Structures are given as C-alpha cells and as structure tokens.
A and B are shown apart, each in its own frame.
Chain A
Amino acid sequence: MIFSTLEHIFTHISFSVVSIVITVHFLTLLVDEVVGLDDSSEKGMVVNFFCITGLLVTRWIYLGHFPLSDLYESLIFLSWGFSLIHMVSYFKRRKYNLSSITAPSAIFTQGFATSGLLTKMQQSAILAPALQSQWLMMHVSMMVLGYAALLCGSLLSVALLVITFRKVITIIGKNNNQSFSFGEIFYMNERSNVLLNAYFLSSKNYYRYQLTQQLDHWSYRIISLGFIFLTIGILSGAVWANEAWGSYWNWDPKETWAFITWTIFAIYLHTRTNKNLEGVYSAIVASMGFLIIWICYFGVNLLGIGLHSYGSFTLTSN
C-alpha cells in the first residue's frame, strides 16, 4: 500500500515539475528573461529525473519484476530516458541546452501514460510466462533508451529543418556545383578569416548558422548513440527469441518495423559520410525516422497481433 502511494506521489511531483519547467521556458520565450528563474528550470529537470527514477524503483520493488512489461511501464521508461539524456548533456557540456527538446518530450510521454486512457494498465500486471526471463531487462530497456535517443536526435533535425526552411528550398533548388552544405560553410569560414559569403553579413544570420551547425552536430551525435542502443536492443531481442521459441527472426510486425527504423537511421549515418548529402538531406532522413519510430513503437501495438501483443491496448476511456 505504501509503495503504491509513494508511486503516486512520485508521478504527480514529476509531472508538475516538468510543467513548471515548460512554463518557465515559455515565459522566457514570450515575455522576457526572468533572471534567476533560468537556473531553476535546470534544477527542475534534475528533480524530474530523480522523481522518475524513484517511481521506477518503487514500482520494481513492489512488483517484483523489472518495470517494463507493458505499454504504461515502457512509456514511463521512455520519459526516464528523455530526462537521462538531458542530465547527461547537462553535466558534460554546460553550454548547449537540450531541455527545449527533452522537457516537452518527457511531459508528453508521461502525460499520455498517466492519462485516463491507460488507467487499466497502471495497476500491476502479472508477467506472462514468456516474459519471465533475464533478457527482458536488457532487450526492452535498450530498445526504449534507443528510441528516446533517436527521438531526441530526430527532433533536433526537425528543428534544423524548420529553422532553415527557406534556405533549404534554395539549396535543393541550386545546381550541385554551387550548393554548400552547412559543414562546408563552417569549414570555409574557419579556415579563411574573411567573411566571403553574403550569408554572414548580418549578425543575426551568423548566429543562426551557429545554431544550425550546433543542431546538426548534436543531432548526429545523439542519433549515433541511439543507433548503438537500438542495435543492441534488436540483437538481444533476437537472441532472446531464439532461446524462448527457437527462431531468432520471425518477421513479426514489431520486429520488422524495428528493423525498418534501424535501416532508416543507417541511411542517415551513411548520408553523413558524403559532403554533398550532409546537411539538408540527412536532416530530412532523420525527420522521416521520427515518424517511423512512432509507427514502430505505437502503431504496431495498435494492431495487437504477433509475438509482441503484450504491448497492445485498446483506446477505451474508463
């Protein structure tokens, strides 16, 4: 009993803290920078991280199994993944602030999980025989962490596309000989200390290019990390399937869509190797990846068939 109330407390605290953080960001954006509150939004994200960790740990203790057996738990884990990414980037490099991406993501996933749509699933569920295995921890946690990182990275790419929307049109339209990728502009700018390009004449454009360069780079690094997690998740899932059912790949809808996600991000990493395709085209691929992850994570569950039917749910409100 005490554990379930503790769980409720943690859920409510984390949800409200994230809402406050987002409100602070909105105020900064729309009204004016309120001095002293900026630091509190960072602290709020740290508090949120600890709350969600506490939530997962209490759930683990009183359920007896790792808290990743149905859709509700995996959504909570996903929002934990977002706040983990935020914490790691916050402690490593204090300069760049990812909380504009991670905070809304965390709140959306948590909000959906704790909303009325999934109340039936919030109570502890019995673990089916097929899920009683050590592989559950590794496979599902790696997959969900991979999704969190890839979602962050693809959101950064979407942000990149949105910011440079007009430039994207001109760059695609231009002749290949004259088109410049962002990397090349940056490179040229660094090597020759003369601002040759007309883009840089106004300081506003210069800062915009700084931002796009950072977005580009961060999106690449986070997607690489997410790709590693996704690879490990898919492969450990295959090994688990072989141990449980005797075949490591069954072309199950969820497996197939996870493979499609993997392929799309492999395409993204390959487009980054080529200077011509880098920049705009890789951002477009990563944005496609955003949609595909949601299809893989949610869309397949709605079908409710196949080996992964544990994650299925019907949208009935109670």
Chain B
Amino acid sequence: METLLNPSKSTLKLSIPKTHIFKSSLLHSTFNPQPRTLFHRRTLSFTITCKVKTSQGRTNDGKNISKKILLTDTAPELSNEEVKVKPKNGGGALGLVRRLPRRILALLSNLPLAIGEMFVVAGLMALGTAIDQGEAPDYYFQKYPEENPVLGFFTWRWVLTLGLDHMFSSPIFLGTLVLLGLSLMACTYTTQIPLVKVARRWSFLQTADSIKKQEFSDSLPRASIKDLGVILMGSGYEVFLKGPSLYAFKGLAGRFAPIGVHLAMLLIMAGGTLSATGSFKGSVTVPQGLNFVVGDVLGPTGFLSTPSETFNTEVHVNRFYMDYYDSGEVSQFHTDLSLLDMNGKEVMRKTLSVNDPLRYGGFTIYQTDWSFSALQIIKDGEGPFNLAMAPLKLNGDKKLFGTFLPVGDTNSPNVKGISMLARDLQSIILYDQQGKFFGVRRPNSKLPIEIDGTKIVIVDAIGSTGLDLKTDPGVPIVYAGFGALMLTTCISYLSHSQIWALQDGTTVFVGGKTNRAKGEFPDEMNRLLDRVPEIVESSKSKQTDSIGG
C-alpha cells in the first residue's frame, strides 16, 4: 500500500515527519484549512495510515527533530485531515457501497498491479507472434498434437479454447487491455493529478537546517541572495524572492507530462476501439477499363459501422501501368481512376500509386496489388483476340502469369499450341508447340513473331489493379493521440528542479533537489554557484548594512 502515493515526489514526504509530531490544537486554529481537494477526500482513508507507518519505519535515529514550527502550505492541511479522518468509520451497508468505488479505485491504481498487467500484455503479444494466427483448426491439430505436446503440455486444446489463434482479438488479450486502461485511468486520477497539485505549490523554507537537509546543499560564506537569484534566472529558473528566502524551480512541465502520456494512451485506445468496431473495408481486383461500385466492395467490421451516401460512387479504372527500373524490376504502380456519382458525372479523377492514396467522401482507395488480366493479340491478321492470363505463381512481388493459344485442331484431346508467359506487363515470353523457348516480345513494339507457321502480333498487355478501400472514423482520434503521445513523451524527459536559499547574515544557504536528472544536478548546481560573486568587504560596516535581509 505504500506504493500508492509516489514517494519520489518527496515534497510530501519531507513535511510529514515533521508535522505529524506537532498535533496540537494551536496548529489547527491558526491555519485556515484550504478547500479540500479531491485527493484528500478520497484516498486518505486508505493511504494515510499506511503512510504513517512508512514514515515511522523510515525515520532513523539520525534524524534531528527540530523544535521549530514549520510554516509550509502543504503540511498543516495534512495534519488537519489526518486527525479528522482517522476516527471516521462509515458504518453500515450504505457506507460500504459508498466506499466500494473508492476501494476499487485504490485497488486499480496499485503500481505492481499495473506492472504485472503490462508484463501479461507483453507475454501475450509474444505468444501471438510465436503461434501462427488465423489458420484453420486442422493446422493446429497438426502443429500442436495431443500425442506429442510442445513443451510437454501445450496442445491444440489450449490454442483453440483460449482463442490463441486469433490472439489480438481474443477475449484474454482484449480483457487485459481493458484492465490496463482502467488502471491507467485510476492511477491518473488518484496519484498523478494530486502530485501535480502538490508540485505546483511553491513554498519557502525558512530555516537553514531544513535547507541543509536537501539532497544537494551548500553554503556560500559571503554572498547575496539577490546575486544568486539573478544567476538562477539567467539559467532558466523561475525565481521567487521573499525577504531573506528564495525559491526557484525549473522544468515543471516534466511533472505534467506523464499525465499527458496517460491521457494520450487513453485517446489512442478509444480511437482504436472505434476503428475496430466502426469502419468499413474491402479489396477488389479490377481489370483496366472496368468499373465497380464502392458500396459493393466495402463490408462492415463491427456494430458501429454506418454506411454513408458516398458509397454509391462508381469507380472506373481508366488505365493501370507500372514504372520500371533500368534493371527491369518494378519501381512503382500507377492507376488512373475516375470517380462517377450516381448520375454518371465525373466527380474526381486521380492517378494513384503505392504511397499516394485517393481520398474522397470519407473513404480512401489504396493501391496495394496488381494482376495480369488479359493479353491482346492479332493472330494471322485476325483479331484482336483477348487471351485471359492465369496466375501461375503469386509469390508476393514475384508473379508469373501465363496463357495458351491453341493451334490446329482445337477439338482433339491433345491440343497443342503456343504458350505465353509474363512476369510483368512489359515483356511476354513465347514458347512453341513443343514447349521450347521461342522468343520475347514487348507489347508496344508491335513486332510480329512467327511460330510454327502462325504469325502473332502482341498488341497490348492488359493489367488489373488491386485496390483496397477503407473508411475509418477512428483515424482522426488516433492521430490526435499519436501526436499527443509523441509530444508528451518528449516533455516528460525534463527534470523538475527546485532550489531553496536563505540569507543568514552574510552566508547564503542553498539547497535543492530534482526528480529525474539526479546525477547531473550537483554538477549543474556547482557550476551555478561558482558564478555567484563573492562579496569582498572593503569596510565592514558598509557591507553589513547592504547584505542583511
């Protein structure tokens, strides 16, 4: 339980050991209670008792109990609340119901629980990459057989009952993510927001002893606190000077940023949920010159998907072509599309390529694939004939298509003919009736080729374009979450440094601490303090007048 309030934010920790010692009515009557913050009202009933234990546990014999009353903004409040809250028990069933959400909140914002959840998520994801996803059950029967279980116990029963074959949409995974989201919200609410409020309150330390107890402390024998203030200001600190004491801080944004990180993650999760339940997607392979209607291709993904008017748009593929490198490999795919509305009027015309999609009316068309539709040839002066090309091998980027032109008696069972193969749209390889390689022709050369008495001219290679269509209402939310996450993660690198100083006669006592850059802080402070000018006394009486608080 002691992990509930983040102990590294030690502004709280430092004040508690001192104040809980002076529980006197004098203290209660002199200080006005600040308006109660959510933090005090809600979590104190569970944390204060633990915190008292902690601070007692940590108080060493070495600590020096000062007899002075510490005048800080935060301390007296806590002592007020502490005394008043303890006797309150909230009896009865109604009290239990009222306390239940608070208990759940406290349970969820436990840090080891959150860490455990993150480990579980990571483990499930790793498992999801180890087990092949989305295969037929038969595949799992073979791969994880019952007679010979992997690792001694892992059979297909585990895979199918727990839903590990569709891990990333399975109940376990989504359930853990939901739990993580709830922990995120609970932790932000109970822990981080109050910490920010505490960090923002600045306080002056009025005694040299309290300053000496900081993580870094030093004293400058002959200096003026105003010089120190000026130097700190020049170094990017915000300085507050009140009488003989000084308070300066830098990098407060670094305290707010983790809240921003959590909120950005919640935004991303919300957007992701919307995408998963409210979008439409579909893919289509369209030969050059043909049309399709957007609404026919798109299918909903979840219960929140609602179609829009623009789904009635018809898409006409004007032309599909590819660019090639000098070495012959494909460099880019292009599709020239026209969008026509219900009346047949063209509303948009654009050439797509792989990293350049078409956006219209809420849906987006992406160029993702290509295929070979037909080969147009002229045979012996007759034609043109369209020979459909069949895919022989579709290995990702390496494809092979082929077609067959029968020659001679087409009714006999052993029909012989001319085979034509192509890897892409730029060259066709022809084989004769015996299956031997005969020649290569390019479609735009229009050069005839004579094979076994048949004169063939390859007129055109007609490709078909593979398009993916999508509408996704969650994308703006997710993008906003991405941007916020990037920004807030960068900002949370900043370290919140606080410096207190006190002018005591001619000596200035300086103390400070920082929350992240603990290693560099002493060096930075030493460099700053080196620059504070030392006041050399020419005549003692003059100096004491000008320096004294």
Contacts and interface: CB of A to CB of B under 8 A. Distances in A.
A218 interface: yes
Contact of A231 (B2, B125, B355, B486): B486
A164 interface: no
Contacts of B331: 126-127, 129, 132
B475 interface: yes
A217 B519 contact: yes
Given A243-B357, A247-B470, A275-B8, A259 B486 contact: no
A129 B330 contact: yes
Given A225-B493, A256-B129, A232 B486 contact: yes
A271 B332 CA distance: 47
Interface stretch (A32-40, A107-115, A188-196): A188-196
A253 B129 contact: yes
A19 interface: no
30 contacts: A93-B520, A93-B523, A126-B329, A126-B331, A177-B57, A190-B215, A190-B216, A196-B62, A213-B519, A220-B516, A221-B516, A221-B517, A232-B486, A238-B482, A239-B479, A245-B366, A245-B368, A246-B364, A246-B366, A246-B470, A249-B272, A257-B129, A259-B125, A263-B118, A263-B122, A267-B122, A271-B115, A274-B7, A274-B8, A276-B2
B126 interface: yes
Q: Which of B62, B129, B364, B475 has the most CB of A within 10 A?
A: B129
B125 A256 contact: yes
B422 to A, nearest CB: 19
Nearest to B329: A126
Contacts of A214: 519
B3 interface: yes
Given A218-B519, A267-B115, A130 B122 contact: no
Nearest to B265: A266
A224 interface: yes
Interface in A230-276: 231-232, 235, 238-239, 242-249, 251, 253, 256-257, 259-260, 263-264, 266-267, 270-271, 273-276
Contact of A126 (B2, B62, B122, B327): B327
B353 interface: yes
Contacts of A213: 519
A91 interface: no
A77 interface: no
A130 B490 contact: no
Interface in B343-394: 353-355, 357, 364, 366, 368
Interface size class of B (residues with CB under 8 A): 35 or more
B41 to A, nearest CB: 24
A232 B482 CA distance: 9
The 3 A-B residue pairs with the shortest CB-CB distance in the complex, in nearest-first order = A217-B519, A246-B470, A133-B355
Given A190-B215, A235-B486, A270 B475 contact: no
Given A93-B520, A244-B355, A248-B475, A267 B118 contact: yes
Interface in B112-133: 112, 114-115, 118-119, 121-122, 125-126, 128-129, 133
* Main DSSP-derived SS at the B contact region: mixed
B39 interface: no
A229 B129 CA distance: 24
B47 to A, nearest CB: 14
B122 A260 contact: yes
Given A192-B62, A214-B519, 11 more contacts: A126-B327, A129-B331, A227-B489, A228-B490, A239-B479, A246-B281, A249-B272, A259-B125, A270-B118, A273-B111, A277-B112
Nearest to A254: B129
Contacts of B272: 249
Nearest to B9: A273
A126 B325 contact: yes
A128 interface: yes
B148 interface: no
Contacts of A232: 486, 489-490
Contacts of A251: 128, 133, 168
B531 interface: no
Nearest to A196: B62
A257 B125 CA distance: 8
